[in-house]
């Protein structure tokens, strides 16, 4: 009778112990997830403030500025994060948050305040570059703290696994009933693996969604390249595309959505298909970009989400390019050894619903080459923290081969060699004017390939 009671007690205690361990692990993981969310929010505050400052310096439009004091919002979010870290038992991480506060204060005093007071200063560009460096340092701090949080999360998971295995080993030796509990745990693990596989299928589907083959425009040769900085999912926020709207007329697009990974890829896919749809009944790039800006703001309510866009058309009959640029900086025309910069014609997408955009007209001759690249190229950073920069990009373009695909491959290799590996999503599109019969291809290799296409 006592033996039966012991078996019954073990049978009851085993599941209760397992439930308690699961509850404890769930609570710990919830605290860590909250800390991770607050860390992301803290970095978004800095990115939002930097984006607003850039918009103001570029346009002198006070609508880019927020009435709230910069330090107050950042420090409030930092204090909330410190409280989360304390609750999660990660007291060492508070020092990293303090470092981010110090960097933010430096950014405000050395970058934001001078630029707000003197946006036309001769030092404005250097101050913005310094601000970008400070923000990158804060991103590194954020990555380091995220690694600490992820390590703590992994520790909780491993500790839970060890405790459950010990509970199973003891209980399975005393009562057969506990084998059912062990089987329940095994089935739960199998279910988790199945959900993980489903998630991977979703990622693969998203990759295929983004990699829509573009068309070669009439009287052109086109090259493209794409590289993603995201290690956990081979998707990113950059998109490029080209398509014909008639025998002699077509559109081409490059865009860079904020952030990285699956969320950025979702915004990039929306950008690609929305612009294609809007351009179907239009011929003015500025009109399409303005309509897309309003659609984007109506669709995504998160103020930290934005997109940089360059949308162009090419008419083979007149050899004329027309374009509208929503804050896109790396855009050039190469005419022989001469390099011409194509400046933005409006602010980035997702900031101001009433933003105005202009269409610029650029005549092109046979052999002229248009190069577009997202900021993953010009902002590739060396081990010393120095950016590749637009001047180096222009120098590479001046001396590079004129074949568009060879040029794209060379630029990706140059960014890799300079920075020791892709650090930010990178997309490149090159278009050269040729005789219509110079190429028999009707399409170019898949735009949006993982490396180069």
Sequential pLDDT tens for the chain (453 residues): 665 565 566 556 556 565 566 667 677 878 888 888 888 888 888 888 888 888 888 887 777 776 555 556 888 888 888 898 888 888 888 899 898 889 888 988 888 888 888 888 878 888 888 888 998 898 898 898 888 888 888 887 787 777 767 766 666 666 565 556 556 656 766 765 566 455 445 544 555 555 556 789 999 999 999 876 554 444 568 889 999 999 999 999 999 998 777 788 889 999 999 999 999 999 999 999 999 999 999 999 888 899 999 999 999 999 999 999 999 999 999 999 999 999 999 999 999 999 999 999 999 999 999 999 999 899 889 888 899 999 999 999 999 999 999 999 999 999 989 988 666 778 999 999 999 765 445 444 444 444 433
171 and 225 share one domain: no
Q: In 360-390, which positions are buried (b, 16+ CB within 10 angstroms) versus exposed (e)?
A: beeebeeebbbbbbbbbbbbbbeeeeebbeb
Q: How many CB atoms lie within 10 A of CB 2?
A: 6
Q: Are residues 118 and 7 in the same domain?
A: yes
According to DSSP, the β-strands at 320-326 and 331-335 are unpaired
Would you say residue 199 lies in a domain? no
Q: Choose one of 175, 198, 225: the last residue of a domain.
A: 175
Identify the pLDDT of residue 15: 62
Q: Which of 175, 193, 220 is the last residue of a domain?
A: 175
Together in a domain, 170 and 285: no
| pLDDT for position 78 | 87
DSSP H helices, 93-252, are: 93-107, 113-117, 124-172, 177-210
Backbone angles phi, psi at 349, to 5 degrees: -75, 140
Tell whether 168 and 217 lie within a shared domain.
no
Same domain, 165 and 216: no
Answer yes or no: are the C-beta atoms of 225 and 426 closer than 8 Å: yes
Closest-CA residue to 40 (of 131, 142, 138, 140): 142
Does 191 fall in a domain?
Answer: no
Do residue 416 and residue 268 come from a single domain? yes
Q: How far apart are CA 359 and CA 320, in angstroms?
A: 12
Backbone angles phi, psi at 211, to 5 degrees: -90, 65
What pLDDT score was predicted for residue 196?
Answer: 47
What's the whole-model pTM score? 0.55
What DSSP string describes 373-407?
Answer: E-HHHHT-B-TTS-B-HHHHHHHHHHHS-S-HHHH
Does 171 share its domain with 316? no
364/430 same-domain check: yes
Q: Are residues 165 and 242 both part of a single domain?
A: no
Residue 452 covered by a domain? no
Residue 453 lies in a domain: no
Domain CATH for 46? 1.20.120
Q: Say if 433 falls within a structural domain.
A: yes
Give the CATH number of the domain where residue 331 resides.
3.60.40.10
Number of domains into which the chain is organized: 2
In a domain, residue 447? The reply is no
Domain boundary among 121, 149, 175: 175
What is the Cα–Cα distance from 60 to 54, expressed in whole angstroms?
A: 9
DSSP E strand boundaries for 247-337:
249-257, 307-315, 320-326, 331-335
Q: Please give the pLDDT value at position 448.
A: 42
Measure the CA–CA gap between 73 and 53, rounded to whole angstroms. Answer: 15
Q: Is residue 382 part of a domain?
A: yes
Same domain, 235 and 143: no
Per DSSP, helices labelled H in 60-123 are 70-87, 93-107, 113-117
Tell me if 204 is assigned to some domain.
no
**Tokens standing for 77?**
């979010």
Distance, CA of 33 to CA of 55 (rounded, Å): 32
- Assess whether 121 and 237 both reside in one domain: no
Judgement on whether residues 261 and 347 belong to the same structural domain of the protein? yes
**Domain housing 64:** 2-175
List of residues 6+ apart from 135 with CB closer than 8 A: 46, 47, 50, 107
Q: Which of 245, 374, 390 is nearest to 309 (CA)?
A: 374
Q: CA quadruple 449, 143, 379, 51: dihedral positive or negative?
A: positive
User: Smallest Cα–Cα separation from 331: which of 286, 394, 389, 275?
Assistant: 394
């Amino acid at each position: 009778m006592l033996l039966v009671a012991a078996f019954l007690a073990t049978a009851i205690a085993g599941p209760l112990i397992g439930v308690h361990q699961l509850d404890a692990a769930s609570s710990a993981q919830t605290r860590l997830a909250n800390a991770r969310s607050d860390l992301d929010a803290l970095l978004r505050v800095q990115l939002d403030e930097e984006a607003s400052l850039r918009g103001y310096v570029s346009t002198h439009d006070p609508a880019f500025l927020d009435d709230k004091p910069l330090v107050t919002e950042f420090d409030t979010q930092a204090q909330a994060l410190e409280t989360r870290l304390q609750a999660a038992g990660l007291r060492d991480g508070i020092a990293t948050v303090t470092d981010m506060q110090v960097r933010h204060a430096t950014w405000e005093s050395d970058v934001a305040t001078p630029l707000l007071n003197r946006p036309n200063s001769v030092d404005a560009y250097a101050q913005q570059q310094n601000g970008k460096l400070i923000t990158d340092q804060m991103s590194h701090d954020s990555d380091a703290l995220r690694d600490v949080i992820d390590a703590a999360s992994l520790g909780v998971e491993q500790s839970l696994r060890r405790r459950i295995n010990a509970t199973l080993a003891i209980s399975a030796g005393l009562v057969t009933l506990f084998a059912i509990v062990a089987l329940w745990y095994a089935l739960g693990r199998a279910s988790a693996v199945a959900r993980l596989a489903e998630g991977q299928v979703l990622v693969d589907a998203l990759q295929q969604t983004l990699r829509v083959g573009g068309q070669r425009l009439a009287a052109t040769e086109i090259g493209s390249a794409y590289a993603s900085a995201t290690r956990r999912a081979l998707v990113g926020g950059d998109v490029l595309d080209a398509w014909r709207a008639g025998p002699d007329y077509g559109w081409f697009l490059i865009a860079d959505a904020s952030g990285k990974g699956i969320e950025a890829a979702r915004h990039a896919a929306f950008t690609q298909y929305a612009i294609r749809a809007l351009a179907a009944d239009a011929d003015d790039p500025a009109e399409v970009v303005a309509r897309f800006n309003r659609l984007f703001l109506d669709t995504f309510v998160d103020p930290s989400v934005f997109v940089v866009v360059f949308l162009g058309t090419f008419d083979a009959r007149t050899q004329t390019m027309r374009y509208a640029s929503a804050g896109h900086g790396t855009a050039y025309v190469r005419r022989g050894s001469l390099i011409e910069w194509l400046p933005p014609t409006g602010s980035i997408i997702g900031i101001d619903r009433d933003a105005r955009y202009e269409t610029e007209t650029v005549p092109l001759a046979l052999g002229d080459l248009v190069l577009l690249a997202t900021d993953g190229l010009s902002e590739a950073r060396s081990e010393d923290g120095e950016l590749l920069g637009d001047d180096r990009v222009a120098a590479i373009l001046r001396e590079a081969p004129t074949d568009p695909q060879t040029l794209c491959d060379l630029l990706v290799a140059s960014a890799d060699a300079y920075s020791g590996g892709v650090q930010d999503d990178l997309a490149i599109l090159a278009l050269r004017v040729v005789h219509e019969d110079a190429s028999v291809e009707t399409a170019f290799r898949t735009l949006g390939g993982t490396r180069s296409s």
